Amino acid sequence: MDNVRPQELAQVRALVLNAWLTLREMTHEAGTAEDGEANGVPINAKTLQKLLGNRERRTHAFLKPLLVEVENDITGGKLWVQPKGKGPKPGKLYYHNVDHPEKSFPLSYRWNAYYAITVVGPWLQKHGLLDDRWVLTEAGANAIESKYASELKAGKFKWSEPRANRYFHPLQQIENRKTGLRAKIFARHGYVYDYDVECCAATVIHQMARQAGSTVETPLLDEFLKDRATVRSRYAAELGLAYEDVKDILLLAFNGQKLNRNTTIRAMLSGVDTYKHKGVVRLERSLSGNERNTFEAKCRILQPFFDEAANLLAIFGDVDTAYIMNEIYFPQEKRILDIAIGFTSYMDKEIFRIHDGFMSVEPIDTELLRKHVFNETGFGIKYECKVFNEKETRNEH
């Protein structure tokens, strides 16, 4: 790729990164390396072209030959073009399998979750756009910011809903909790107010179960919803884990996850440093004796909390985690967010939606919004706000 200008190469890498992020969100945990290529979610050429952003002829003419070079770089030169008049799809791009030619695939068929995760992901890591946990680096975040600069400037975003009842935009994938990158980038465009529903999933699912008639006693869950910081800190001390890791683990209880089945939990509790990103790199199924003992001991600490959550969720019937999230929680999360969208419609720039929360260019009255949500949905939620700028971060109570 020595003949490619740096500016062009940066643009293509940003497009490939955008496609990778969107594919990962569209497929969620389907088509992972463990599941195998057959379970990947395929994507046709038209949709791929849309993801890569080459809608204009001028842009497309520039990108097509460059993307071939990128693909060859990714695959080690295994991309080839079927000559016109020969083969089943003349003129189409193929991945050539030297050992088994009959297994060669057209490019459009190859773009699925399996390919994105196992081939494109490492290539993006090699070029510094993703870190070793598949999280956007600062270079990757800047690439995505550059691609969507016009939307950020205008405050008008093009949303998609690849998964049930959730708005998606690649800018959401810029990690903020540990790096602060998203806050820094959005602050440059005036989005300095970050609003989040306190413990939204746990709060909404708990209230829905009660509204559905559940009368089971849940003292641990009740304590958690009343003072989640204290409960998380206590478990962090007992388990010897970071506060943020405990935060993630306890949330999974409200999703109907099982302690001994969830990859995230197994990796964190066993101390096996193979976890990179949920649904991307699977934990080995076999643990050594010491690792297994550590895992089982920590499970015993958490089991009462997870048992209470399971008893509470039983009101919804014998359903799996996907059903709880997609059919029970996400519609209500989106309903709450839609109310916030209407509540802030007077602003010059629309709010940027991040699942149950949002970022805005103006402050809002959270108490008035809380009452509005309660009147419309019956959910008693609370909002917390953080105010960002590029130099400092402070909490607004």
- Give the pLDDT confidence of 46-57 residue by residue, as tens digits: 555 555 554 443
Mean local confidence (pLDDT), 6-28? 69
- Is 151 found in the same domain as 42? yes
Query: End of a domain among 322, 344, 367?
Result: 322
In a domain, 384, yes or no: no
In a domain, 194, yes or no: no
Instruction: Give the tens place of pLDDT for each residue, 317-353.
Output: 887 877 888 888 989 999 999 999 999 999 999 999 9
State which H helix or E strand residue 81 sits in.
strand 79-81
Q: How many domains does the chain have?
A: 2
In a domain, 86, yes or no: yes
136 three-state secondary structure: strand
> Quick one: pLDDT at residue 18?
79
Say if residue 168's pLDDT is above 60: yes
In a domain, 206, yes or no: no
User: What value does the mean pLDDT of the chain take?
Assistant: 75
- Is 42 found in the same domain as 129? yes
In a domain, 103, yes or no: yes
Higher pLDDT, 44 or 267: 267
In a domain, 196, yes or no: no
> Quick one: pLDDT at residue 85?
44
Query: End of a domain among 261, 288, 322?
Result: 322
Domain assignment of residue 34, given as a range: 6-162
Question: Has this prediction a pTM greater than 0.85?
Answer: no
Instruction: Give the tens place of pLDDT for each residue, 79-93.
Output: 444 444 444 444 444
In a domain, 380, yes or no: no
